[in-house]
């Protein structure tokens, strides 16, 4: 046992037991059992094979050794950074203060180190993606929660206001991580009024101290309603242009381009040109990973220069959004058939079904060969890997809990 070699570290609460669940699901499937594995966080087709968008496959194959092997610039290739922000805000002419990161994970982790002191906390919406706890803990920080919305209720802005006020009182600054639209794990998005409320209360806090709002954009390419996503992005941009809050985005090619392993991401503050922030980001990058992977940057640059491929990728994203929507609808209808509450979905790879005692429900489902991830308010179901045909079995297993 090597415990004595490893300095004692914070053990972040609420971390998903996802690796163990996924490993067991794979083992039981390999031994011939018909399992339903809804723990995965990658898009798979109905045969269980990982989806890699055709456009991206082609671009990847075209990369030359010179686009892969050299170090990328420490802050990332400026053309890459611009292309990353323009995917979501096409009118932007500059990425602003920005750096390339290994995935959106790198961007989130870097933001905690850049904007907070150890001992401080990040405000986010609960339930949230489990690794947020780790990214915070690695910066010596923790997570403070305010509730995310539920399918039939507006956002609880009083709770958000209170949480923001208390944190500002305690630490004199705020960093907020907001995974909107298309949140993991709920599969829901805020509506215009929810967003307006959050932005207003953050603007209030910005009169008292620095406020940074980081939009975690991991899933917003997969949506039932692209116009809604566009509205959300425009709303954030309009606020960023005028508001006293520093708005940034944790960008990623993992889900949007199905390039999880290429580790392409960026932390960008497109509405801020302050060189002090750019320098701070550059130093953090150097200290943490030197330079982010070059191949991912080369791929995004090639895509940005090829309008035809962009159109094809957008068509692939629409297609898989429709597949996700049909899986969510199949689950919703199967749950209702069993007399259970349905599953609301606006976008992303997951839905969360509200249950009491999420861990106990997860265990009971596991005993029936159905694998999900417990989160604070319920169970997370990966519709990215749940076939519509498995929805009735899933619903029956949930009904069988008694």
Ligand X SMILES: Cc1ncc(COP(=O)(O)O)c(C=O)c1O
Residues lying near ligand X in the complex (CB under 6 A): 41, 103-105, 129, 179, 184, 216, 218, 252, 254, 260, 265
Q: Which of 106, 92, 387, 39 is nearest to 254 (CA)?
A: 106
Q: Which helix (H) or strand (E) holds 381?
A: strand 378-382
Closer to ligand X by Cβ: residue 84 or 398: 84
Helix axes 307-337, 294-304, angle to 10 degrees: 100
CB of 388 to ligand X, least distance (A): 22
DSSP 237-257: HHHHHH-SSEEEEEEESTTTT
CB of 385 to ligand X, least distance (A): 13
Closer to ligand X by Cβ: residue 22 or 205: 22
Closer to ligand X by Cβ: residue 129 or 320: 129
CB of 40 to ligand X, least distance (A): 10
Strand-strand pairing, 378-382 and 174-178: unpaired
Give dist(CA 394, CA 92) in Å, integer. Answer: 44
Give residues with Cβ within 8 angstroms of 104, minimum separation 6: 216, 217, 218, 250, 251, 252, 254, 265
CB of 30 to ligand X, least distance (A): 24
CB of 260 to ligand X, least distance (A): 5
Length reported for the chain? 402
Report the residue number whose CB is nearest to ligand X. 103
Give dist(CA 374, CA 285) in Å, integer. Answer: 33
Tokens of 340: 């259970």
Q: Which residue has the tokens 């009735």?
A: 392
CB of 246 to ligand X, least distance (A): 19
Q: Which helix (H) or strand (E) holds 117?
A: none
Closer to ligand X by Cβ: residue 104 or 181: 104
CB of 119 to ligand X, least distance (A): 24
Closer to ligand X by Cβ: residue 254 or 278: 254
Residue 51 gets which letter from DSSP? P
Give dist(CA 172, CA 120) in Å, integer. Answer: 10
Closer to ligand X by Cβ: residue 215 or 334: 215
Closer to ligand X by Cβ: residue 206 or 250: 250
SS3 content of the chain, % helix, strand, coil (to 5): 45, 15, 40
Closer to ligand X by Cβ: residue 36 or 375: 375
Give dist(CA 374, CA 364) in Å, integer. Answer: 12
CB of 252 to ligand X, least distance (A): 3
């Amino acid at each position: 046992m090597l415990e004595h070699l490893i300095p004692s570290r914070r053990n972040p609460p609420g971390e998903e037991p996802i690796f163990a669940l996924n490993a067991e699901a794979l083992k039981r499937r390999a031994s011939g059992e018909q399992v339903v594995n809804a723990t995965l966080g990658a898009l798979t087709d109905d045969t269980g094979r990982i989806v890699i968008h055709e456009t991206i496959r082609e671009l990847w194959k075209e990369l030359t050794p010179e686009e892969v092997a050299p170090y990328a610039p420490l802050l990332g290739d400026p053309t890459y950074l611009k292309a990353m922000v323009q995917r979501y805000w096409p009118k932007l002419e500059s990425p602003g203060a920005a750096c390339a990161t290994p995935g959106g994970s790198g961007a989130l982790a870097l933001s905690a180190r850049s904007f907070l002191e150890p001992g401080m906390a990040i405000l986010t919406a609960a339930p949230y993606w489990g690794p947020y706890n780790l990214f915070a803990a690695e910066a010596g920080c923790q997570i403070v929660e305010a509730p995310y919305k539920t399918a039939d209720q507006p956002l609880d802005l009083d709770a958000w206001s209170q949480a923001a006020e208390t944190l500002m009182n305690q630490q004199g600054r705020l960093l907020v991580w907001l995974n909107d639209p298309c949140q993991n794990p709920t599969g829901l998005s805020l509506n215009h009024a929810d967003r307006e409320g959050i932005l207003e209360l953050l603007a209030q806090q910005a009169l008292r101290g620095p406020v940074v709002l980081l939009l975690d954009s991991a899933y917003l390419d997969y949506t039932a309603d692209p116009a809604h996503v566009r509205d959300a992005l425009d709303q954030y941009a309009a606020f960023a242009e005028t508001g006293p809050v520093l708005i940034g985005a944790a960008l990623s090619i993992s889900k949007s381009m199905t390039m999880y392993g290429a580790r392409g991401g960026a932390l960008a503050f497109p509405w801020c040109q302050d060189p002090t922030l750019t320098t701070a980001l550059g130093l953090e990058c150097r200290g943490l990973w030197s330079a982010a992977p070059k191949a991912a940057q080369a791929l995004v640059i090639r895509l940005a220069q090829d309008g035809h491929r962009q159109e094809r990728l957008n068509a692939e994203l629409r297609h898989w959004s429709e597949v996700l929507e049909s899986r969510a609808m199949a689950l919703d209808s199967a749950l209702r058939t069993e007399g259970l509450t349905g599953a609301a979905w606006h976008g992303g790879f997951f839905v969360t079904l509200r249950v009491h005692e999420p861990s106990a429900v997860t265990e009971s489902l596991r005993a029936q060969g159905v694998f999900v991830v417990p989160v604070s308010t319920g169970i997370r179901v990966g519709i990215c890997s749940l076939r519509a045909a498995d929805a009735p079995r899933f619903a029956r297993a949930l009904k069988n809990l008694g």
